[in-house]
Structure 1
Amino acid sequence: MIDLENIRKTYQSAGRAVHALADVSLSIHEGEVFGIIGRSGAGKSTLIRLLNLLERPSEGRVRVDGEDITAYTDAQLREYRRTVGMIFQHFNLLRSRTVLDNVCFPLRLSGMPRAERLARAREVLDLVGLADHAHKYPGQLSGGQQQRVGIARALASRPRILLCDEATSALDPETTQSILRLLQDINLRLGLTIVLITHSMDVIRAVCDRVAVIERGHIVETGPVLDVFLHPGHDATRALLSESGLDGGEGWRTLAEGVSGRLVKLSFRGEATGRPLLSRLSRDLSLDLSILQGSVGRIKDTPYGQLIVAIEGSDEHLQALAPVLEQAGVHCEVLRS
């Protein structure tokens, strides 16, 4: 649905060129939740703002449904932006307007008749669970409720694309999870394409189908979230996973010094996560297994697990290990033979 082709974005600062994005190419599929993750200053905010041309690329093209939107006239761009909603880190609500008025505001700007915009605003407020708060002011709401107003406002014009610019960064963990559940529900119910940027791997794990990792203006890794989490291919991705605690860190290395045998990393996904694999390996292949580190969780709706295990046994039984793991649907990476 969305294609970024060889995007470069350069700013002038204090008389010198600052390269915010360098040769970025990226494809986002219709109906998916696509995450862009990176540290502060990596270029992710610039990247997401290219999708509605709040930022224009210095070089390259932005295509949506095959059309080059960077070539649009002002009138065409205004029409296109009506199909793109955006929610922000700090909500950006009009403090002197009621919740209902905030949601109506973009509809009034588009020329929708008053009765229609009131009906539509009440419809989306009900969708985000705020139907009873229509006549309150933003200052009377919690942070999570204010963000729900922002989501309702973004949905009011029936967009096809929803852009989320660090939409949960200002919220506490519990509220963050409720907003992420709401975004996932909106994605499923409305078929929206959602693009979100974040610095949190927890956010990516909870709602995204695919992810791109950005580092110093470059896309260094992209793919399905499960693949990127379980088999990161770039140092930046590994660092983000380690900082979030989702990979368990490097504590197993100290333990590994005190045990003998083959050292492997076992990665499980889907139904394989809940099967009694280790007891089967120990029983059927006469192997001694020592778990040095492990984690089990869910990535969106899919269970996953990752274990670092020291294995001791005869050469014959160790040779039989690989086909058993392959048949069980478990990926095995040998860390020490």
Structure 2
Amino acid sequence: MIRLEHINKNYVSGTKTVVALDDINLQIQAGEVFGIIGRSGAGKSTLIRMLNLLERPSSGRVWLQDQDISTLAEPQLRQVRQKIGMVFQHFNLLQMRTVLDNVCFPLRLAGLTRAQQKARALEVLELVGLQDHVHKYPRQLSGGQQQRVGIARALANHPQLLLCDEATSALDPETTQSILRLLAQINQDLGLTIVLITHSMDVIRRICDRVAVIDAGKLVEQGEVLDVFLHPQHAVTQSLLSESGVEAEGWQDMAAEVQGRLLRLSFTGSSTATPLLSQISRDYQLDLSILQGAVSRIKDVPYGQLVVAANGDLSRWSQVETLLAQQGVDCEVLRP
């Protein structure tokens, strides 16, 4: 659905040139939830604004469906943007207008009649659970409710694409989860493509199908969320996972104090709940010490990763590896 080809973005300040994006190549498929993660200043906000050309690239091309929108003049680009909804970190609501009026605003710009505006606005407000708040003003709503208004407004024009720029960063953890559940429901029920940027690996884990990691204007890693979480390749990704608590540190110190073969076991799906370690310990007379572990879900898929020390007679280790492989468990030997 979306394709970025060799996107570069430079800002010139006096005699100094700042590189915000450096040769970005990215494809986003229709119907998926795609996450872009990076630290502050990494370039992720600039990148998401390339998708609707609120920022124009210094060079490169932006494709939406089969159309190179980077070649469009502003009048044509405005028509394209009507099919791209955007949700902002700080809501960007009209404070002197009611909830209903806020959602009607983009519909009025699109040329709908008053009756059409109201009918569509009420439809999307019901979708986001605010049908009882249509006549309230933003100041009368909680932060989560205000963000739901922002989402309803973004959905009003039947967009093909929804962009979320740090949509949960201003919210408390409980409200964040409710907004993420709403976005997941919208993606599932409407088949809407969603691109979100965040600095939180937990947000990526809960809602995204694929993720791109950006650092200093470069895409340093991208792929299926499950693969990136279980097998991070770049130091920035590993650091983000560690900071989020997904990949805990400290097991290296414990590993120095225990003997035996050191393993990292990664498992997904049904194997997550299978008592494999008990079976291996019992059938092969091995003592297994768990030095670090995490079991959770990525979207709807259970996953886990353990660092384990195995002690005992390892002469039948090849049979253990076969059993793990049969159960879909990836076994990485960290220390022979």
State the TM-score, normalizing by the size of structure 2.
0.99
User: After TM superposition, what 4+ stretches of structure 1 lie above 3 angstroms from structure 2?
Assistant: none
1:183-229 Cα shifts (integer Å, max 9, x gaps): 00000011100000000000000100000000000000000000000
Structure 1 residue 66: deviation in Å?
1.8
- 1:223 corresponding residue in structure 2: 223
| CA distance in structure 2 between the partners assigned to 1:181 and 1:315 by the alignment | 46
- 1:324 corresponding residue in structure 2: 323
| CA distance in structure 2 between the partners assigned to 1:327 and 1:288 by the alignment | 21
| CA distance in structure 2 between the partners assigned to 1:290 and 1:35 by the alignment | 35
1:16-49 Cα shifts (integer Å, max 9, x gaps): 1100000000000000000000000000000000
2:92 partner letter: N
- 2:21 corresponding residue in structure 1: 21
Unaligned runs of 5+ residues in structure 1 are: none
- Secondary structure, aligned partner of 1:211: strand
1:304 partner letter: Y
| CA distance in structure 1 between the partners assigned to 2:48 and 2:116 by the alignment | 31
Across the aligned residues of Structure 1 and Structure 2, the Cα RMSD in angstroms comes to: 0.7
1:208 partner letter: C
- Secondary structure, aligned partner of 1:233: coil
Farther off after superposition, 318-327 or 203-212: 318-327
- Secondary structure, aligned partner of 1:133: coil
| CA distance in structure 1 between the partners assigned to 2:103 and 2:66 by the alignment | 31
| CA distance in structure 1 between the partners assigned to 2:317 and 2:193 by the alignment | 46
Structure 1 residue 67: deviation in Å?
1.1
| CA distance in structure 1 between the partners assigned to 2:307 and 2:242 by the alignment | 15
2:253 partner letter: T
Farther off after superposition, 306-315 or 215-224: 306-315
| CA distance in structure 2 between the partners assigned to 1:87 and 1:120 by the alignment | 18
1:30 partner letter: A
Asked whether the 8 Å contact 1:286–1:317 carries over to 2, the reply is no
How many residues are treated as equivalent by the alignment?
A: 336
Matches within 5 A, 1:46-85: 46-85=46-85
Matches within 5 A, 1:1-337: 1-248=1-248, 250-337=249-336
- Secondary structure, aligned partner of 2:42: coil
State the TM-score, normalizing by the size of structure 1.
0.99
1:314-336 Cα shifts (integer Å, max 9, x gaps): 23222322111111100011111
Unaligned runs of 5+ residues in structure 2 are: none
Structure 1 residue 313: deviation in Å?
2.4
Structure 1 residue 110: deviation in Å?
1.1
| CA distance in structure 2 between the partners assigned to 1:151 and 1:272 by the alignment | 37
1:47-82 Cα shifts (integer Å, max 9, x gaps): 000000000000100011121000112232111111
